[in-house]
Amino acid sequence: MKNNHAISGLKISTKSLATVSLLCAISIILARVLGIIVPIAGLPALKLNFALLPLIIAGIYFGPAAGFFCGMVADILGYIINPQGGAFFPGFTLTTALSGAIPGIIEKYINKIKHLKIINSLFVFLLSCGFFTVLFIKKSLYINNAILYYGDKPINVVLIILTAIILLAYILLPFIINKLFAQKYKDVDRIYFIVTVTYVITSLLLNTFFLSYYFGKGFLVFLPARILTSYIMIPLNTILVLIITRTLRLNRGEKTDVQK
């Protein structure tokens, strides 16, 4: 006889509940034990970890409700186990819960979205525009007599060209990842899109807003460093989710995208 449990009115099997619980535990370990805190403006405002991975997988495999509860429980239990020197703030719990729910919601409707590679590249382009716009607004970056300055120092032309090449490479990154992984992972564009949208909404927008409220600092104080971090974390999370989900399918005896 198959035992079922209910999560927000949705039935989930005992086996699935155990898997979601395991993903929740992994998220806690990745966030509270293996995570690194990087100070911004002297404040512990940037956490580098892979706690998002199990939450995305929970949302994709078990739906938005299971993903939401997985994230919520992971944040609350994680705080009880290791508060990391800060006070409990419900806003961070909400964003962690949404980190599990958003992938589940996107997974339901993503088949209706076309040209994912182009959309993924557009996201990277907009992030780059946002980064430099913030620097110009803060007047950290400005132009004087046709010379680009950062702070009070002129920027070398070679450095400007190198930066432009790196940015172009990042904009083309969704196409590069697709080229490298598409034969083995047919859903690479889908996963890249899910990770990007989830990261932008939860980490760049909501968490940055809550950090500015929590520490009493301006939104733009935290945003540039968090955008730069997204250049690394989004591709890494995408690749890791691809590898983990394919492994899970193999262990469950399901056909992979290559085998279908």
Q: What is the pLDDT of residues 45-104, one digit of tens each?
A: 677 788 899 999 999 989 999 999 999 999 999 999 888 767 888 999 999 999 999 999
Which residue shows structure tokens 């990042």? Answer: 170
The neighbour count for residue 255, using CB atoms within 10 Å, is 9
Q: Where are the domains of the chain?
A: 4-251
How does pLDDT run across 123-178, given as a tens digit for each residue? 888 888 888 888 888 787 878 877 787 777 888 888 788 888 888 888 888 888 87
Q: The CATH number of 4-251 is which of 3.40.50.300, 3.30.450.40, 3.40.50.720, 1.10.1760.20?
A: 1.10.1760.20
Closest CA to 124 of 112, 113, 116: 116
Pair 91, 213: CB distance under 8 Å: yes
